[in-house]
Amino acid sequence: MNPSNYLKIKNKIPSNVNILAVSKGFKSQEIKTIQNAGQNDFGESKFQEAFEKQLNLKEFKQINWHFIGRIQSNKIRKIVQNFKYIHSVDSFEKLQKISNISLEEKKNPYIMLQVKLSDDPTKGGFRPELLVSKWREIKELKNILLTGLMTINPKGLSSMENLELFKKCRSLADSLQLPDCSMGMSGDWEEAVEAGSTWIRLGSLIFRDSS
């Protein structure tokens, strides 16, 4: 593979938008190729798969690892130990557990809370009303750096529908004074950028060669 798709997107997006290169399903060698083109943030969604790559790439100290998958409670300690960012915190209970374990481990992960903005039954996350009602309690948790919200749109929406959901995420984040929105994937990143995403999570678009 080559980094040409990566470089094309990198050159197109505004400077306040970060690319998270989602390397799940791709190999350490492919991560090296993209890293060498200037990318240091990589996202993984399964702990075991990620950990093997982290070991392979441990001399690449510049790499920031982001966890973006469904969080199993029994993996929280390992996730806290090995990831600088966690995008996919989908319940208050898990957030509390992350906070407690981070304190024990003397870590301070950057946290984005996953929000559920549509009725897609395959996607978890905080309902906006719950997030707002729990906000005081959330803000009191120790050893987490709460920087934003994350959302995954359902498949098959029109461009307009994607844009509307992303705007909802942005305005909720703004109302909570959170700078980041982790939103937009290979199929809907342009709408996400238009709505104010600060982290677009791109997998296939970066790691699969266009031909």
Q: Which is nearer to ligand PLP, 164 or 187 (CB)?
A: 187
Q: How far is the CB of 133 from ligand PLP (least distance, A)?
A: 25
Q: How far is the CB of 187 from ligand PLP (least distance, A)?
A: 6
Length of the chain: 211
Tokens found for residue 180: 């980041």
Q: How far is the CB of 109 from ligand PLP (least distance, A)?
A: 17
Q: Which is nearer to ligand PLP, 43 or 128 (CB)?
A: 43
Q: How far is the CB of 182 from ligand PLP (least distance, A)?
A: 8
Q: For residues 5 and 153, what is the distance between their CA atoms, to the nearest angstrom?
A: 23
Per 3-state DSSP, the chain is made up of helix, strand and coil in percentages (nearest 5) of 45, 20, 40
Q: How far is the CB of 94 from ligand PLP (least distance, A)?
A: 16
* Residues in contact with ligand PLP by the rule CB under 6 A: 22, 24, 45, 68, 152, 185-187, 201-205
Q: Which is nearer to ligand PLP, 24 or 78 (CB)?
A: 24
Q: Which is nearer to ligand PLP, 177 or 211 (CB)?
A: 211
**Residue with the CB atom nearest ligand PLP in the bound state:** 203
The distance in angstroms from the start CA to the end CA of the chain is 11
List the alpha helices (DSSP H) in 124-181.
128-140, 159-175
Contact in structure between 58 and 83 (CB atoms under 8 Å):
no
Q: Which is nearer to ligand PLP, 63 or 143 (CB)?
A: 63
Contact in structure between 14 and 193 (CB atoms under 8 Å):
yes
